[in-house]
Amino acid sequence: MSRYLNCEGVSRRDCLKLGLGGLFGAGLVDMLRLSGQASGKTIAPRATSCILVWLDGGPTHYETFDPKPLAPSEIRGEFHPIETNVPGISFSEHMTKLGAMADKLAIIRSIRHNQGNHGAGNHYMMTGAPPRIPVGCGAFVSFHPSLGSTTAKLKGRNSGLPDYFSMPRMSRSGGPNFLGAKYAPFIVPDDPNKDNFRVRDVSLPGELETARFDSRRDLQGAIDRLPRINEPVAADPVVALDGYYEQGYTLVSSPEAQAAFDIHSEPDELRDAYGRNDFGQRALLARRLVEADVPFITLYEGGWDHHVGLFDRCRKVLPEIDQTLATLIRDLDERGRLDTTLVVMLGEFGRTPKINKDAGRDHWSNAMSVLLAGGGTPGGQVVGATDPQGYSAVDRVLSPENFASTIYTKLGIDPNQILYTPQGRPTHLVSDPTPISELMG
């Protein structure tokens, strides 16, 4: 049968297929928006979860994964390269533990873009879309849904557990934009390195006993008398909330579900290996959330804007990051989860070649290094290269769009699909939907 529906058309059949037969009163725009859910091709997911480590401020590429020993000293810096366990690949000297597992890692050295401000760079890397208007460094902006929010919308499990965690805060452009507040990250601000740490809201508060909670729940059931309108066409929102309460109760009262948040049950040795600091313990919590099948977790780590005293600062923070990341990847691997979990580490851009007068490096979006592991990513490889002095990506130059498309494709999300804004405007999920082939395995 030939149907000359305009490409953006949505037929009743589509709606029924989507199970939306009862959802009317929605208007054209809503229909279009809903049709966005079905516009992508079905892609077999390679990874079921993604842990995205965001080093806010823009981590230096020289002192992490792209050392330039042959560059003059004002570029080369104070650190030396080290050999990794993959012949021919060197990292900078503090990345020892990651260096010892380079066969499991892929490093992209050749992403470059044109957004040298924090606000803009964050937006580009967190969403795969450049900001529409010039954005200052201090700005927090959102013009497009983030990787995490889109994943929550398209790969959410509706299980009771939030689908997108961001800890301890949301990265600037990590929000849902037009997808709506439902797909905003679930923020866990508290420090998991503290003894009394609990994930907010998903467990009983404070010292409330389970028995008391159960009796409260019984009481709630007994006094709840608001009549429900059960005909689906009436679209009673109370019925939807009932479902969420049911999920919430299951989550709170199921020991298996609660185990996902309980990092106190981890052996001390492992907790030490992750690093006894907030970031280390957050990474450990992320691993537990992965085991509970949460599809997207952002670990936000501030303080990477090293305009001043870069080397002193890096001597402290690089070993910590190195230890935590290496432990996370190894731990996932030992539990057989690395193959289905994508671990990514990046910031908004790299840093300037010439060391400035304050022994720091400034913003530099012509080159940056991004780490990937797991989720079927072939390890032991470096994708692309910068020139011998690290000024610019020169070989296999890639864009943030390629990066975002890689993440989406691995998660089984077609980056070449159209989402609809509440304005009814069709928006490409990623404008260049080409993933990085070397990383696809």
Partner 1 sequence: MRTYCLIILFCSSLTAQAEDVAVSPIEVSLRGLSNRKQLLVTGRTGEDVADLTRSAAYMSESPEVATVDERGVVRAVGEGTTVVRIEAGGQQQSVTVTVTNLAEADALDFERDIQPILTRRACNSGPCHGKARGQNGFQLSLFGFDPDFDHQSLVKEARGRRVFFASPEESLLLTKPTGVDPHGGGVRLERGSEEYELLRRWIQHGAPRRQPDTPTLETVSIEPESRIMPYEEQQQLKVTAHYSDGSTRDVTHMATYQSNESAIAEVDESGLVTAGKITGETAIMARYQGFFAVFTPSVPLPGEMPADYYDQLPRRNFVDEQVYEGLKRLSLSVSEPAPDHNFLRRAYVDVIGRLPTVEEARTFLDDPSPEKRDQLIDHLLAQPEYAEHWANKWADLLRPNPYRVGIKTVLNYDNWIRDCFRKDKPYDEFVRELITAEGSTWKDGHVTLYRDRRSPDEITTIVSQLFLGTRLECAKCHHHPFEVWGQDDFYSFAAYFAKLGYKGTGLSPPISGSEEMVFAGTSGDVRHPLTNAVMQPRPLFGDAREIPSDGDPREALAEWMTSKDNPLFARTMANRVWADIMGRGLVEPVDDLRATNPPSNITLLTALGDDFRDSGFNIKHLIRTITTSYVYGLSSLPTERNVVDTRNFSRHYRVRLRAEVLADSWNQIVGIPPDYQAMPPGASAKEIWTHRVDSQFLDTFGRPDPNQDPPCERTTDTTVVQALHLMNARDLHEKLISDASWVHQLAESELQPAEIVENVYLAVYSRRPVEEELQIALDLYENTETSRRAVTEDLLWALLNTPEFVFED
Q: How far is the CB of 267 from partner 1 (least distance, A)?
A: 27
Name the token pair of 339.
Answer: 């193959």
- State yes or no: residue 41 binds partner 1 (CB under 8 A): no
Candidates 48-56, 89-97, 204-212, 292-300; binding stretch for partner 1 (CB under 8 A): 204-212
Ranges of beta strands (E only) in 240-353 are 296-301, 341-346, 350-351
Residue 192, C-beta contacts closer than 8 angstroms, at least 6 positions apart:
263, 278, 281, 282, 284, 285
Q: How far is the CB of 317 from partner 1 (least distance, A)?
A: 23
- State yes or no: residue 67 binds partner 1 (CB under 8 A): no
Distance of CA 183 to the CA centre of its chain: 13
For residue 345, count other CB atoms closer than 10 A to its CB: 25
In whole angstroms, what is the distance from residue 372 CA to residue 378 CA? 9
Name the token pair of 279.
Answer: 């970031």
- State yes or no: residue 108 binds partner 1 (CB under 8 A): no
* 3-state DSSP assignment of residue 5: coil
Complex with partner 1: residue 30 or 333, whichever CB lies closer: 30
Candidates 172-180, 263-271, 274-282, 372-380; binding stretch for partner 1 (CB under 8 A): 172-180
Restricted to residues 391-420, the positions that interact with partner 1 (CB under 8 A) are 418
Candidates 173-181, 275-283, 359-367, 387-395; binding stretch for partner 1 (CB under 8 A): 173-181
When binding is defined by CB under 8 A, the residue of 206, 255, 267, 336 that contacts partner 1 is: 206
36 touches 417 (CB < 8 A): yes
When binding is defined by CB under 8 A, the residue of 17, 85, 210, 238 that contacts partner 1 is: 238
Restricted to residues 353-372, the positions that interact with partner 1 (CB under 8 A) are none
168 preceded by a cis bond (ω within 30 of 0): yes
What length is written for the chain?
441
- State yes or no: residue 9 binds partner 1 (CB under 8 A): yes
Q: What is the DSSP string of 17-29?
A: HTT-TT--S-HHH
Restricted to residues 319-348, the positions that interact with partner 1 (CB under 8 A) are none
Restricted to residues 240-279, the positions that interact with partner 1 (CB under 8 A) are 240-242, 244-245, 247-249, 251-252
- State yes or no: residue 308 binds partner 1 (CB under 8 A): no
- State yes or no: residue 214 binds partner 1 (CB under 8 A): no
Q: Which residues pair with 342 in a beta bridge?
A: 50
Mask: binding to partner 1, 115-154, rule CB under 8 A, as x and -?
--x-x------------x-x-xxxxxxxx-----------
CA-wise closest residue to 40 among 119, 151, 125, 129: 151
Name the token pair of 16.
Answer: 């029924």
When binding is defined by CB under 8 A, the residue of 17, 80, 194, 216 that contacts partner 1 is: 216
Candidates 216-224, 302-310, 318-326, 360-368; binding stretch for partner 1 (CB under 8 A): 216-224
